[in-house]
A and B are shown apart, each in its own frame.
Chain A
């Protein structure tokens, strides 16, 4: 059964990475974060806390689900569309699960000259990721069949002098030429994801 465009805009299709992330549920930590973040802004401007709350949720749950959007909207006294429009605009927010280790490779000029496309190809080859259905706007993330890894091209990560560079979850790595891709993936296997 196909979803209506409206339902599709908030749907979070299962991915092989879904098993690594707990489903969204309100928690005491989330509420504490909300109180702290809302407090950073003048009264009557609590809408400003949208981005911090979405970051917190994505950090713990991997992506922003429809339930999470409703929760944030209710917490900040907004209509859900005000939250959804933010989620769909910013490349930093996802609506479905990435891999346990999400790798963002810089695509922009200096890194591309230093070999970031080759790095991306190598990462896909080593992890069995198929990027043929990815596009920069609507489906930027591609997940490996095992769900452990996902890749995405990011625009300029601001370390142009040491390209190619990438972010693995929150960890920054520079000078990762394609021949170091295997080492990078191996280092993930030995670490905790930290998202």
Chain B
């Protein structure tokens, strides 16, 4: 049974006031977003220092680098970019006998549809990210770090560059940071509008000045063969910010936030058909889907009811609101839970056949046609496939073409089977996870809404060619056979 313990810390700091209409919900726990929408807050280093900024950096520099990594391991922090891989464990993958320079890259290419958390950190609290990065660089022994920021955040790139200059002035960055003997330079690098650059090896290729074709793993695990073939740690913006708070609280204390194996807080970004969409920082797993949608987000729009939810960015598998799931209890017994009882943590969402991903929750109500939703998603992936692997390049395009037909009423019932088979031929057959990202939404929507999709098809379309070339080809074949 979900066990809701009383919160260990106050939900929000009573000394902080937020802008009108931006007050955190009482169920929120603001750690990373403490300063977002805060009255009297700005991006200057003076303001950050007034609030006790860079104190955790001083604490960390007094520790051995390995001890910092140990705290992060103890905290149980799992990456907030999508895969949910333990951050401390990732840091431990740098080969022990390494003699090459180590790089740290902050992945600020936030581009998973439905996700909009890093935007606010980059625009409103740049020094929190810098402090987290300097501590992380110290832990992994990196003397050069890059913030790979998506091109669509031009203002954030300026804000971050200014903040880095301020931090360098105050010797939080640069040579001999605060007299510790540790040197670090941080640079901002802007992407150019490609979703695939959020994939860590694609990002590295892009940072090397190339097309961002992802590299195959093995052998190209970034921690061993990353940027310029040197060990490279790639972490999400939110993950790096958490490192500062882990040092502040201690790894063991931090691990008490959230639930077992799903520790800390995370920012859930809710968009779509709810009364109050927005960002909500909550303890991981302390909120159920029902509490998130009905209590925190105010429920469905008037006169509407919830139909389905995409729980972790558009790549995650869709969940129907009338579904129930069979989960394993820790003692090995089974339990049945309904959609609204799903705990919003990595493991529960995975057990329900989807994923917590990047925290982007997209809500659909009963006014939405599922074929339209599917087609919108297919257009995204067809546009963003990098084209390196054939199944993905061709498959994403064909999935788009088939869903175009469904939307315009030109599809036959067999098209749904074809669409499904195309998706399963991409999944697992590509270099990077984009193959899964593009095919999972299709697989899940067909599995869960097949009847609704079939209702939009017509057997009469079975024999009609879909375009002039197909008509021409058919004429040619018929003539050849005649």
Contacts and interface: CB of A to CB of B under 8 A. Distances in A.
For chain B, the bracket of interface size reads: 35 or more
Interface in A148-163: 154-163
Nearest to B383: A136
B118 interface: yes
Contact of A51 (B114, B185, B187, B209): B209
B335 interface: no
Given A109-B380, A172-B155, A160 B209 contact: no
Given A48-B208, A156-B113, A170-B154, A136 B379 contact: yes
B379 A107 contact: yes
B380 A156 contact: yes
A76 B191 CA distance: 18
Given A85-B211, A107-B379, A136-B379, A42 B101 contact: yes
B111 interface: yes
Contacts of B382: 136
Interface centre among A55, A109, A154, A167 (most CB of B within 10 A): A109
A93, A137, A157 pick with most chain B CB within 10 angstroms = A157
28 contacts: A47-B209, A48-B208, A48-B209, A49-B209, A51-B190, A51-B209, A52-B190, A55-B192, A82-B210, A86-B192, A86-B211, A89-B194, A92-B193, A104-B152, A108-B113, A113-B272, A113-B364, A136-B383, A137-B383, A155-B111, A155-B193, A155-B383, A156-B111, A156-B114, A158-B153, A160-B116, A161-B277, A163-B271
Interface of A: 40, 42, 45, 47-52, 54-55, 76, 82, 85-86, 89-93, 104, 107-110, 112-113, 136-137, 154-163, 167, 170-172
A161 B270 contact: yes
Contacts of B136: none
A160 B271 contact: yes
A40 B379 CA distance: 36
B225 to A, nearest CB: 15
Nearest to B382: A136
A145 B253 CA distance: 62
Given A51-B206, A55-B190, A109 B152 contact: no
Main secondary structure of the interface of B (DSSP, over half): mixed
Nearest to A47: B209
A137 B194 CA distance: 12
Specify the main secondary structure of chain A where it touches its partner: mixed
B32 interface: no
B121 to A, nearest CB: 12
A166 to B, nearest CB: 11
B116 A91 contact: no
B144 interface: yes
B190 A109 contact: no
Contacts of A156: 111-114, 195, 380
A39 B187 CA distance: 10
Interface in B186-245: 187, 189-195, 206-212, 228
Interface of B: 101, 110-116, 118-119, 144, 150-155, 185, 187, 189-195, 206-212, 228, 269-273, 277-279, 310, 314, 360, 362, 364, 368, 373, 376-377, 379-380, 382-384, 386
A65 B476 CA distance: 43
A109 B373 contact: yes
B279 A161 contact: yes
Contacts of B376: 107-109, 112
8 A-B pairs closest in CB distance: A92-B193, A92-B192, A90-B192, A160-B271, A47-B209, A110-B271, A50-B209, A91-B193
Given A92-B194, A155-B380, 6 more contacts: A48-B207, A92-B151, A109-B113, A136-B382, A160-B113, A160-B115
A160 B228 contact: no
A167 B379 CA distance: 20
A71 B332 CA distance: 65
Contacts of B364: 113
A126 to B, nearest CB: 23
B383 A109 contact: no
B144 A110 contact: no
Which of A48, A104, A110, A172 gathers the greatest number of chain B CB atoms within 10 Å?
A110
Nearest to A46: B209
B278 A161 contact: yes
